[in-house]
Chains A and B, each alone.
Chain A
Amino acid sequence: MACGPSRDGFSRAVRPEKFASVVTTPGQPMLVATDVHRHFEGMRAVDGVSIEVPRGQITGLIGPNGAGKSTFLAVLAGTLPATSGTITFEGQDITSMPAYMRARRGLVRTFQLPSEFARLTVIENLLVAAQDNRGDSLFGALMGKRYWIADERRLVERARGLLSRFGMTAKESDYAGTMSGGQKRLIEIMRALMLKPRLLLLDEPMSGVHPKIVLEIQHYLEALRAEGLTILMVEHELHMVERLCDTVVVMAQGKVIGSGTMASLRRQREIVDAYLVG
C-alpha cells in the first residue's frame, strides 16, 4: 500500500497503525477509584463510589438520569475535583492531579456535548492533540519552522491515517464547527486517539448520533479494544451496552448499586427496579 513520500514530504499512502498504546502490567486493573465523593452546594452527586476498571476491556457505566455517572466520569478525568476519596491510575495516585496532566499520562476523556475546536480544521483538531511535536512550546515556536517541520509532517501523516480509518479523509480541511453531530463525535474520538491513550473515558459517545454512525462507532471501539485499549463509557442505550461492554457498573443516586455482566445484572431485582426500562 505504500507509495513512497511525495516531493513535499507528505506521504500519500495510508499506513495502518495501532492507535492504542501497549499496556504495562497485565492483570492489574488500570484504574481504581476508592470511595470517591463529589459534593457541591449541598448536592451529593457522587456519594462514595468505588470501582475497578479492568484493562483491555470495555466497561459500561449505566444508570438512570441524575445518577451521577457523568459527574463521576468528570472526577476521574480531573475536570472536576473529588471532594474526597482516591483515584489510582496504573498504580499511581492521581487524585490531585489536574486534568491536563492526566491526559498526558494516557487518561483521556471525551465530552457529552460536542467539544470540537470549531474554528480549527478537522485535521488541526487532531494535530493539536499530539503530544510529541517539538513546535508545541514557546521555545519550539520561536526556533522557527525548520525546527518542528519534521514532527509536523509525521503527525500529519498519522492524523491522515486516522482520518482514513474513520472515513473522514475528504473533510480534512473543513472547519470542524461545520461538521454534523456524528462527525464531531468521530473527530473527538480521533482527537483522543492522537494522544495515544491507555484508558479512554467516553461520555455518552452515541448520544445525538445518526444510527448508521452509531454502528460505525461501535465497530471502531471493538477494533480499539482488540488493539489493547481500555475503555470506560457512560451510555444510556442499553442494547449498545449489551453488545459492546464486557462489564457494566450501575449507578443510582450517586452510588454504585451493582456491577457485572448485563445478564447477571438483569437477574438482580434492585437493579431492574431502579432502572425500570430493561
Chain B
Amino acid sequence: MNTYYAANLLIYAGVDIIACLSLNLVFGVSGIVNFSFIVFQAVGAYTTAVLSLPPDSTSGYDFQHYIGGFNLPFPIPWIGGALAGGLLAIPVGFVVLRKLRSDYQAIALLVMSVIANTVITNADKFLNGAAGLALVPQPLSTQVDPSTDAYYYLYVGITAVAVVIVLIVANRIVNSPYGRSLRAMRERELAATAIGKNPVAMKMTVFIVGGVIAGLSGAILVGFIALWAPSVWLYPETIILFAAVIVGGKGNNIGAILGALLVPVGFEEVTRFIPPIGPVGLIPALQWVAIGLLIIGFLWFRPDGVRPESRRVFEGGPAREVR
C-alpha cells in the first residue's frame, strides 16, 4: 500500500474524528445547532496558514495576497489556529445564542457561513480570494523533508496525538457532572434554569471549546494539504459532518468517532473504488444524493444513530429491569 495513500486516509480520518467530536459536544450533547461549523474549521486553517506563511511579498509567494505572513514555526501556527476558532465563537455566540426558535438559529448560522465564504471569495487582498492560499509551509518541514515517507509517518503521529488529546478533553467534559448539566440544558432549558443552570454561560463555554477544537482540525488539515481555498469549505461540508454525527449517534463520543469513520471517511473510500462511469461529475453528485438519503433514512428509521447515547448507571444501585 502506497504510504501517501495510507497517510492521506489516516490524516483525513483524524481530522474528521476531531471535527465530529467538536460537533458532538456542541450539537449532540448541548443541543446547539451550529450550521456554520465549517467556518470554524476554515478560520483555524486560514490562521494557521497566515501564521506559517512568509510575508506575501517574499519571492515565490508574491502571486498571492494575504494578511499576516509571520513565518512562525510549528506548533505556534497550530495553537493560533485553535485559538482563532475559539475566538470566532465569541461574536458568533453572542449574535446567535439568544432566545430564538431553533430552526431560525440554525438557518441564521447556515447563512452566516455562506456570507463568510462569499465575502472571503471576493476580498482578494485579504486571504487571496477565490484562489485561496497555496504553498503553505508544512510543520517541521525544515527538519524533515515533506516528500519522504518519514514525514508522512511523522504527520500521522502528530495527528494521532491531537486526536488523543481531543478525545480526552471531550470524554472528560461529556462524562462529568458538567456534561450532565449540558444534557439537562439540551433536554429542557427552562427547567434547567429553574435548578440554577445558566444556559447562556454554558452554551457560550461549550461553543468556545467546540470552536477551539474545530480550529485545531483546520490547522491539521491545512498543514497536510498545504493549501486552503473557499471551495474547500462550502456550507454543504457542515452537512456532511452533521450527517456523520447523526448516523454515528449523537450525544456520545464513540458515536461521533463511528460517524466520522462511516460518513466522511467511509464514503470517500467506498466511492474511490467505483470506476468513473457516466458523465463527468456523476459519481460526486451521486455521493451527495447518497448522503442526503443517509440523513433522511437515519432520521426516519434510527434517529439515535448507530450507537445511541448510553444510559448511565451508578454502582451500588438497585437491580435494573432489563428493557
Residues of A within 8 A of B (CB): 6, 8, 10-12, 77-79, 98-101, 103-104, 108-111, 115-121, 123-125, 127-131, 133, 135-138, 140-145, 148, 151-152, 156, 160, 169-170, 172-175, 191-192, 194-195
Contact = CB atoms under 8 A, between A and B. Distances in A.
28 contacts: A10-B314, A10-B315, A79-B190, A98-B198, A99-B193, A100-B194, A100-B196, A100-B197, A100-B199, A101-B196, A110-B194, A116-B188, A117-B192, A120-B187, A121-B312, A121-B313, A124-B180, A127-B180, A131-B196, A138-B205, A141-B176, A141-B178, A142-B169, A144-B172, A145-B176, A192-B195, A194-B195, A195-B195
B173 A124 contact: no
Contacts of B188: 115-118
Interface string B37-66: 000000000000000000000000000000
Contact of A128 (B169, B175, B195, B315): B195
Contacts of A169: 318
The 9 A-B pairs with the shortest beta carbon distances in the complex, nearest first, are A10-B316, A135-B177, A141-B176, A141-B178, A103-B196, A115-B191, A129-B195, A117-B187, A104-B196
A127 B312 CA distance: 12
B217 to A, nearest CB: 19
A167 to B, nearest CB: 12
A12 B179 CA distance: 26
Contacts of A156: 314, 316
Contact of A119 (B177, B309, B316, B320): B309
Interface residues of B, number: 36
Contacts of A78: 193
B238 interface: no
A8 B316 contact: yes
Nearest to A159: B314
Contacts of A128: 177, 180-181, 184, 192, 195
A103 B195 contact: yes
A196 B177 CA distance: 18
Instruction: Count chain A CB atoms within 10 A of each CB in B181, B196, B312 and give the residue with the most.
Output: B196
B101 interface: no
B311 interface: yes
Nearest to B206: A138
